[in-house]
Structure 1
Amino acid sequence: MNKLSDDDIEKKLLRFPDWEYYENALHGEFEFENFKDCFSAMSRIAFECEALNHHPNWSNTYNVLTISLSTHDADGVTNKDFLLAEAIENIVEPDEE
């Protein structure tokens, strides 16, 4: 995977309003109703990470999940980070039908 340019990242971020780009990574913070819901989302995200073979830096404090995405091999953000961000979005904020 090739590292994306800052311009490419900013364009792609238009589709991801819950994410920011700084310090060479994508950053998102998600708040849940309680710890159980947060941990449940983290468990589901973990399966997506394994499927993509791409693992975030993340932490949670009670009901808040903080995630940082970058591709270490590329020393920056790649399309792989955006694929994982999209999967995370689908888990934490599923489309309401």
Structure 2
Amino acid sequence: PVFETYLRAKGAADDAIRARTTLDWTVLRPGRLTDGPGTGLVRLAPSVPHGAVDRADVAAVLAALLHEPGTAGQTLELVAGNATVEEAVAAAAGHDG
């Protein structure tokens, strides 16, 4: 019940950001968080299969998203994958290559 309450509150906060701000925003929804050192390899898209992702990789993606205005206005899901953080963020922003 605690995690369900968290998910409802996070969903409500995400909705409020999308509906009520004039600032650029990107919502990141990571999969199940793990405590590994990070691999630098992720899968980032509007919808991804359920999976896990290291906290270090979440932090790296968040830092990269801050510098990529092309992801503004998107809600993206994140799990471990095969693309580098830079490749995944560029693809989410709609950049080829």
TM-score (norm 2): 0.28
